[in-house]
Amino acid sequence: MALDLSMPVLVVDDYKTMIRIIRNLLKQLGFDDVDEASDGTEALGKMKERRYGLVISDWNMEPMTGYELLKHVRADTGLSKTPFIMVTAESKTENVIAAKKAGVNNYIVKPFNAQTLKGKIEAVFSD
């Protein structure tokens, strides 16, 4: 899967500042088409309306968490192939393992830097 900088990216986080940070970092990396959602429910609705090339999601949100969103996405035949990166402060081993088992493509522990985000996006699209 090739990395296409023109693909639409969906950033899911309930903290507006974090969306702004990720949006700015993505812009620095060359991504211009960045959309946002404040929880899993809103994200799922947007994903059913538009085909995103990448989803970058927080874990801990209400009402639907990023973990639930991931499981919904992987269970939906129309969305299941969407690359999904979890960016979260949830840093227990069981979180990492659960996310991997649920089919996440990569996992970034907050706080993170631009280099880590860049590296994980590149890793997802080089697989």
Partner 1 sequence: MAPASPEQLTHIVDFLRRERRDLSLEDVMVLAERMAATLDETMARVDTLLHDEFKSIVGEIATLRRDIGGIRPDHMRFERIPEAGRELDAVVEATETATVAIMEAAETIMAADTSDPEAYKALVDDKMIVIFEACSFQDITGQRIRKVVRTLGWIEERLGQLSQRLKFGEAEALHVHETDEERRQRELILHGPQMKGEGVSQDFVDDVFATSDQDAIDKLFD
- By CB under 8 A, residue 112 contacts partner 1: yes
Which residue lies nearer to partner 1 by CB, 38 or 60?
Answer: 60
DSSP bridge pairs for 56 = 11, 85
Rounded to whole angstroms, the Cα distance separating 127 from 123 reads: 6
- Min separation Cβ 119 and partner 1, Å: 9
Instruction: Write the interaction track for partner 1 spanning residues 25-64; mark x where CB under 8 A is met and - where it is not.
Output: ----------------------------------xx----
Select from 31, 36, 34, 35 the least CA-distant residue to 6: 31
Select from 58, 42, 53, 127 the least CA-distant residue to 99: 58
Indicate which single residue of 8, 46, 68, 79 sits in contact with partner 1 (rule: CB under 8 A): 68
| CB count in 10 Å sphere of residue 73 | 24
Note the residues at the interface with partner 1 (CB under 8 A): 17, 20-21, 24, 59-60, 65, 67-68, 89-98, 100-101, 106-110, 112, 116, 123
